[in-house]
């Protein structure tokens, strides 16, 4: 489930803070007609802010949410953002429709491309990285002693 993508977790966290502020401020700046769009956007902004601030990681204020739970929350949030205009009846208003769908897709792509695991902890990547570095090629010693490292 945790991917080893090109975007560092710290960048992901920083983007989430910016997105949270955007969800809170944009409906007020664009003066959405739909009260449901305004309320949904502000609530989503607060949820993103709380999740970003309380997930284990470099941009966290309190390490309360495990990173695996945060990833699941990110995927659920992306789906919710794409569906929200249709669920809450503001799909006929173009500004919030475009905003929610665009940020839902962007959040999905960000989550897919984020390197959530710390350096050297990739899924199966440790063995692959050691093999690429030429380590781990030694045959095991029958005496039970570990092979000598050069």
- Measure the CA–CA gap between 132 and 42, rounded to whole angstroms: 47
- Give mean pLDDT, residues 52-67: 93
Half-sphere exposure of 19 (CA within 13 A, CB side): 28
Alpha helices in 30-66 (DSSP H): 35-54
- Rounded to two decimals, what is the model's pTM? 0.76
pLDDT of res. 130:
46
**Residue 51 near residue 16 (C-beta atoms within 8 A):** yes
pLDDT band at 100 (very low <50, low <70, confident <90, very high): very high
Q: Is the pLDDT of residue 129 over 50?
A: no
What percent of the chain has pLDDT above 70? 76
Show the tokens assigned to 56.
């284990």
pLDDT of res. 5:
85
Beta strands in the chain (DSSP E): 7-8, 114-115
Q: What element of type H or E holds 62?
A: none
Mean pLDDT of the chain: 86
pLDDT of res. 3:
62
Q: Is the pLDDT of residue 142 over 60?
A: no
């Amino acid at each position: 489930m945790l991917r080893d993508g090109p975007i560092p977790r710290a960048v992901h966290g920083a983007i989430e803070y910016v997105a949270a502020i955007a969800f809170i401020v944009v409906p007020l700046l664009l003066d959405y007609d739909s009260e449901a769009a305004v309320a949904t956007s502000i609530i989503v902004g607060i949820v993103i802010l709380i999740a970003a601030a309380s997930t284990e990681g470099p941009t966290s204020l309190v390490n309360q949410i495990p990173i695996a739970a945060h990833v699941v929350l990110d995927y659920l949030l992306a789906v919710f953002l794409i569906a929200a205009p249709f669920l809450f009846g503001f799909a006929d208003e173009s500004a919030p429709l475009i905003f929610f769908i665009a940020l839902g897709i962007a959040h999905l792509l960000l989550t897919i491309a984020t390197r959530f695991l710390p350096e050297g902890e990739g899924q199966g990547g440790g063995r692959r990285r050691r093999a690429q570095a030429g380590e781990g090629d030694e045959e095991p010693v029958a005496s039970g002693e570990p092979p000598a490292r050069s």
